[in-house]
Protein backbone atom coordinates (compact mmCIF):
# COMPACT_ATOMS: atom_id res chain seq x y z
CA UNK A 1 0.00 0.00 0.00
CA UNK A 2 2.80 2.43 0.79
CA UNK A 3 4.05 2.20 -2.80
CA UNK A 4 0.68 3.24 -4.21
CA UNK A 5 0.38 6.06 -1.70
CA UNK A 6 3.92 7.18 -2.50
CA UNK A 7 3.15 7.18 -6.22
CA UNK A 8 -0.02 9.26 -5.91
CA UNK A 9 1.69 11.54 -3.40
CA UNK A 10 4.49 12.32 -5.84
CA UNK A 11 2.01 12.77 -8.70
CA UNK A 12 0.11 15.12 -6.39
CA UNK A 13 3.26 17.17 -5.87
CA UNK A 14 3.53 17.60 -9.64
CA UNK A 15 -0.13 18.63 -9.81
CA UNK A 16 0.38 21.11 -6.99
CA UNK A 17 3.29 22.77 -8.82
CA UNK A 18 1.22 23.04 -11.99
CA UNK A 19 -1.74 24.39 -10.01
CA UNK A 20 0.46 27.18 -8.65
CA UNK A 21 1.75 27.88 -12.16
CA UNK A 22 -1.84 28.26 -13.38
CA UNK A 23 -2.92 30.28 -10.35
CA UNK A 24 0.09 32.55 -9.87
CA UNK A 25 1.81 32.71 -13.26
CA UNK A 26 -1.11 32.68 -15.69
CA UNK A 27 -0.22 29.17 -16.96
CA UNK A 28 3.05 30.48 -18.40
CA UNK A 29 4.89 27.20 -18.94
CA UNK A 30 8.11 29.13 -19.53
CA UNK A 31 8.08 29.92 -15.80
CA UNK A 32 7.86 26.26 -14.79
CA UNK A 33 10.89 25.10 -12.81
CA UNK A 34 12.04 22.30 -15.09
CA UNK A 35 14.69 21.02 -12.67
CA UNK A 36 12.09 20.76 -9.92
CA UNK A 37 9.68 18.98 -12.26
CA UNK A 38 12.43 16.58 -13.34
CA UNK A 39 13.08 15.71 -9.70
CA UNK A 40 9.39 15.06 -9.04
CA UNK A 41 9.01 13.03 -12.24
CA UNK A 42 12.00 11.00 -11.12
CA UNK A 43 10.18 10.23 -7.88
CA UNK A 44 7.09 9.16 -9.86
CA UNK A 45 9.24 6.92 -12.05
CA UNK A 46 10.93 5.38 -9.00
CA UNK A 47 7.63 4.53 -7.34
CA UNK A 48 6.26 3.22 -10.65
CA UNK A 49 9.28 0.97 -11.14
CA UNK A 50 9.23 -0.37 -7.60
CA UNK A 51 5.47 -0.95 -7.73
CA UNK A 52 5.77 -2.75 -11.07
CA UNK A 53 8.53 -4.91 -9.62
CA UNK A 54 6.41 -5.69 -6.56
CA UNK A 55 3.56 -6.76 -8.86
CA UNK A 56 6.01 -8.80 -10.98
CA UNK A 57 5.35 -6.62 -14.03
CA UNK A 58 7.91 -5.45 -16.54
CA UNK A 59 7.89 -1.69 -17.10
CA UNK A 60 8.71 -2.38 -20.74
CA UNK A 61 5.62 -4.58 -21.03
CA UNK A 62 3.48 -2.00 -19.22
CA UNK A 63 4.72 0.76 -21.53
CA UNK A 64 4.19 -1.32 -24.68
CA UNK A 65 0.70 -2.25 -23.58
CA UNK A 66 -0.11 1.44 -23.15
CA UNK A 67 1.32 2.35 -26.57
CA UNK A 68 -0.70 -0.46 -28.16
CA UNK A 69 -3.88 0.68 -26.36
CA UNK A 70 -3.47 4.29 -27.50
CA UNK A 71 -2.61 3.26 -31.06
CA UNK A 72 -5.78 1.16 -31.16
CA UNK A 73 -7.84 4.08 -29.89
CA UNK A 74 -6.28 6.35 -32.51
CA UNK A 75 -7.10 3.85 -35.28
CA UNK A 76 -10.70 3.77 -34.06
CA UNK A 77 -10.80 7.57 -33.61
CA UNK A 78 -11.57 7.03 -29.92
CA UNK A 79 -8.83 9.08 -28.23
CA UNK A 80 -11.34 11.62 -26.91
CA UNK A 81 -13.98 10.90 -24.36
CA UNK A 82 -13.58 9.12 -21.08
CA UNK A 83 -13.55 5.66 -19.64
CA UNK A 84 -11.12 2.79 -19.77
CA UNK A 85 -12.96 0.75 -22.37
CA UNK A 86 -13.02 3.10 -25.34
3-state secondary structure string across the chain: CHHHHHHHHHHHHHHHHHHHHHHHHCCCHHHCCHHHHHHHHHHHHHHHHHHHHHCCCCHHHHHHHHHHHHHHHHHCCCCCCCCCCC
Q: Which domain holds residue 70?
A: 58-86
Same domain, 29 and 69: no
Same domain, 65 and 84: yes
Same domain, 30 and 45: yes
- Asked whether the beta carbons of 16 and 36 are under 8 A apart, the reply is no
- Tally the domains of the chain: 2
Q: Alpha-carbon distance 4 to 60, whole Å? A: 19
Same domain, 19 and 43: yes
The per-residue pLDDT for range 17-48, each reduced to its tens digit, is 999 999 999 999 999 999 999 999 999 999 99
The structure's pTM equals 0.82
Same domain, 50 and 11: yes
Average pLDDT value for residue range 58-74: 95
- Asked whether the beta carbons of 41 and 32 are under 8 A apart, the reply is no
Amino acid sequence: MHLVLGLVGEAGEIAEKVKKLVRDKHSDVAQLDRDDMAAELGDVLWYSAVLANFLDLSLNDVAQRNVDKLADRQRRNALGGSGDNR
